[in-house]
Amino acid sequence: MYLSYRATKPADLKQCFQLIPNLSSFADGKSRMDLLAFWRFGLARRFALSAVALDHERPRDKQVVGFGMSLFGTPEFVQAIRSNLPPYFPLQAVRWWRQGRMPFLGPKAIARENTDDGLSLLILHFGVERQKTPELEMQIRAKMHEAFTFVHGGYHLKEILQESYSPFEKDMLLSVGCRLLRDYDEQVAEPHPDPSIHTCLLGMERDEEKNKYSVLGPIFLYPRPRFGFSLSSQRVLQQALLGETDKEIGKGSGLSIWTVKKRWQEIYEKVEKLEPALLAPSRDEKTPPGEEPATQRRRLLLTYLRGHLEEIRPYDPLRKVTSGGRKNTR
C-alpha cells in the first residue's frame, strides 16, 4: 500500500458507502439513497467534515480504503443523542434532515459556537477496508488518524460523540480516552438488522481532566486564531495545505486564477500587518535554489499553518470571548 489522504469528493461517495461500519442500518434502497443525498448536501453546503484515505497502488476508481465524516450537532440533536434518541444516530440525523429538523449547525452557527463555548463534534462514520492482516489495516487507521487531526484540528471543541458497533470499536474508543455514555440496552423498538451488532454511544469532553492526557486530548487544546482570515481566504488555505495548486484551488472553488491570486495577496497583507517576520526566512535558513519570493512566502506560511490549524477555521472576530471561551457581555 502507498497511502495518502485528502478531502472527500462527491465522486468518492459510492466507494465510501461500502466502508461505513454500520452499513446494515441502511439496508433498504430508500435509506441508502437518503444517506447519499445527505452526504452530497453536506459536502456542497460545507457543514460536513470529511476525508478519505487512498491507496495509490490501486486503480483510480478503487483507491478509497478509508472514510470518515462528521458534523457539528445542534444542541437539540446532541441532547437527544445523549438522552432518548434511538441508536444509530447517523440514521437518525438523516431522518431529522428529511423531516426538516436540522441536526447540524450551518456555517454562521459554526463560527459563532467556535468563538463562544465550543462545538459538539459528532462522528457519523469512520470506516476502513478490511485487510488480510491486522498490520495492513492499522496502516490505514493511522493514515485516517492523520486525516482526523487535519480535518478537525483547530476547532474549539467541547465534546466528541461517536457510536461503536462492535467490541473491537468500543475497546478502541475506550483506549483513546472516550467513556461509555449509553449502551442502548433500553432500546428494543428498532432492532438492528444484524443481531450480532450491539451499539454503544461513547464520548469525550473538553473539561474532563483525564482527557488532557489522552491520545485525542490535544484536539481540545488549540488556541484562538490571531490573523482573522476571511472564510474565502480560509478555503484557499485549506486546499493549499492539501497540496493543491492555484489552478486546482480555483477549479474546486469555482474561482478564476486571478481571484485566487487576489486571495493570496489579502492573506499576506493580514499576516505582514500583524507579524511581518513570519514570511521572511530566518538567517540560518537556506532558501532553495531558484525559489521565487512569492513561492517562498507561501511555503513559510503553509509551514506555520500546519501547526496552527485554528487559523483556517470559521471564527467570528466581532464576538469578544473570555479565556474560558464564553462570550464576554461586559
Per-residue confidence (pLDDT) for residue 113, from 0 to 100:
94
Phi, psi of 89 (to 5 degrees): -65, -20
Report how far apart, in Å, the C-alpha atoms of 214 and of each of 133, 163, 174 are: 27, 19, 10
**Cα distance between residue 54 and residue 286, in whole Å:** 33
Report how far apart, in Å, the C-alpha atoms of 272 and of each of 50, 118, 137, 184, 215 are: 32, 29, 44, 53, 35
Q: Which of 114, 173, 111, 130 is nearest to 148 (CA)?
A: 173
Cβ partners under 8 Å of residue 330, min gap 6: none
Per-residue confidence (pLDDT) for residue 215, from 0 to 100:
79
The one-letter code for the residue type at 173 is L
Between strands 119-128 and 157-164, the pairing is parallel
**Collapsed DSSP state (helix, strand, coil) of residue 172:** helix
Q: Which of 70, 68, 66 is nearest to 48 (CA)?
A: 70
Q: Which of 150, 147, 148, 146 is nearest to 162 (CA)?
A: 148
Cβ partners under 8 Å of residue 185, min gap 6: none
Per-residue confidence (pLDDT) for residue 323, from 0 to 100:
45
Do 104 and 71 contact (CB within 8 A), yes or no? Answer: yes
And the C-alpha cell for 161?
460523540
Q: Which of 186, 266, 176 is nearest to 215 (CA)?
A: 176
**Cα distance between residue 59 and residue 121, in whole Å:** 33
Per-residue confidence (pLDDT) for residue 218, from 0 to 100:
87
Q: Map out the domains of the chain with their CATH numbers.
A: 3-220 (3.40.630.30), 231-312 (no CATH)
Give the position of cell 493549499. 240
Each residue's pLDDT tens digit, 46-65? 899 999 999 999 998 899 99
Q: How far is CA 76 from the centre of its chain?
A: 21
Specify the DSSP class assigned to residue 327: B
**Cα distance between residue 73 and residue 82, in whole Å:** 12
Per-residue confidence (pLDDT) for residue 7, from 0 to 100:
92
Report how far apart, in Å, the C-alpha atoms of 311 and of each of 191, 231, 304 are: 44, 10, 10
Stretches in the chain below the pLDDT threshold 70: 186-196, 209-212, 282-291, 319-330
**Cα distance between residue 42 and residue 35, in whole Å:** 10
Per-residue confidence (pLDDT) for residue 283, from 0 to 100:
59
And the C-alpha cell for 91?
440514521
**Cα distance between residue 326 and residue 118, in whole Å:** 8
Per-residue confidence (pLDDT) for residue 187, from 0 to 100:
54
